Each structure stands twice: as C-alpha cells, then as structure tokens.
Amino acid sequence: MDAGRNAGVVWLATYKPSKRPEWFTRFAGRHRAVRCRMAGVVPAPPMDDRCWREAQSVAAATPNLELHSTVPHETVGEFLQDSALLAHSSCSEGFPNVFLEAWAYGLPSVTSFDPDGILERERLGACREDYGAWESALERRLSDPAMRRAEGARARAYVCQSHAPDRIHGRLAEVLHRVLRDSSTGVSREMRIPVG
C-alpha cells in the first residue's frame, strides 16, 4: 500500500482499559476531517465491555469514526487498506502482531509502546508515551505524505528482512530441536527464541 497516498488512520486492538481506546476516539473527535477506523476484540462476560460501549457512544456522535468489532485475521489486510497510519495506544505489550501486520502492508505506526526500541531505531513511525505528544506525532505524519511513504517503506523492508517465513523457520527449527533433544535427555533449562 502507499501510505503517502492514503489518508485514514486505523486502530486495531482489544477494547479494554490497558489498550486505551479512548485515546483514539478522542483523536477522532478532535480531527473530524480525518477518516478514523477502529476495530478489535470485544471482551465477553465475565470481562467488562465498558470500553467497547464507550467507543460506540463516541462513534455515534463522531461521523468520521467508523467502529467495528473483531476483524477476522484473513480480512486484516482489507481493514488496513486505504490507511495512512496505524495508531496504537496501549500502555504496555509484548510484541503486538498488529505491528507486523501493518508494517507488512507498508503502514508506519504511531504508538505509545515501542518493543525493544524497534520502531524508533528503525524509523518505522514514532513512539510517544503521553497523549499530547502521541496526537502531535499523528498530526505531523498526516500532514507529510513523503514522511509516511518513507516510514512505510522502511516498515515493509524491516518485516521482510526480519520476520519473513524464510527468516524465521530456521531459527524456530533450531529451538524446537534443542527442546526435543533436552527433553529426551531429561535436561531442564529455560529456552529463549532468538529475536532478529
């Protein structure tokens, strides 16, 4: 996709407090000219779906905010299509799959969490931990198609170089062989998968 040509912003996560969906709904409300699309898992009982209900309420009064529940994995590409940026507002994560999905499509990211500093180090977007700076980073990229295009191209290249199946299969096979070998000899130790 051409992040420089596209104009919308997407958010894809779970509707729960730690993901801070209210950051994205606030952004949509403050930027009525920007198409904002939001999708994610709606927590089922006994978990609390308050964040989903709050997002529905904001979307009802915000014409530029399109709200969805879970997007099946096979349609994530369609959901990301025509977007310029991925907005990620979670305060803590492991390594979000949504980053890899967006980067594979050439979308830069503005986040509030940067796993191992990859986003900033590889210049795939921006990481800002407070709402004001996060919003400013989104605004800056929305006003600069060349920046989005360059960050998106680096994001796609990063995924291809570091996370493509031919890069991962060999490392995974090594770890699995070690686990099988050690379990058959009764050796118990912590196994760590090397990250590239």
Q: What is the pLDDT of residue 160?
A: 86
Domain identity same for 193 and 126:
no
Task: Say if residues 181 and 189 touch (Cβ distance below 8 Å).
Answer: no
Structure tokens at 95: 């390594």
CATH code, 154: 3.40.50.2000
Q: What is the pLDDT of residue 68?
A: 96
The pLDDT-based confidence of 195 (bands split at 50, 70, 90) is: low
Structural domain that includes position 97:
8-162
Per the structure, how many domains does the chain have? 2
Domain identity same for 46 and 73:
yes
Domain identity same for 70 and 139:
yes
Number of CB atoms found within 10 A of residue 86's CB: 27
Domain identity same for 38 and 24:
yes
Structure-derived torsion over alpha carbons of residues 30, 32, 35, 40, reported in degrees to the nearest 10: 40
The pLDDT-based confidence of 187 (bands split at 50, 70, 90) is: low
Phi, psi of 67 (to 5 degrees): -115, 135
Handedness of CA 126, 141, 8, 84 (dihedral sign): negative
CA–CA separation, 8 and 143 (whole Å): 12
Number of CB atoms found within 10 A of residue 68's CB: 13
Domain identity same for 148 and 57:
yes
Domain for residue 2, yes or no? no
pLDDT digits (tens, 9 = 90+) for 148-177: 999 999 999 999 888 666 766 677 778 777
Domain for residue 3, yes or no? no
pLDDT digits (tens, 9 = 90+) for 22-59: 999 999 999 999 999 999 999 998 999 999 999 999 99
Q: What is the pLDDT of residue 38?
A: 97
Domain identity same for 115 and 196:
no
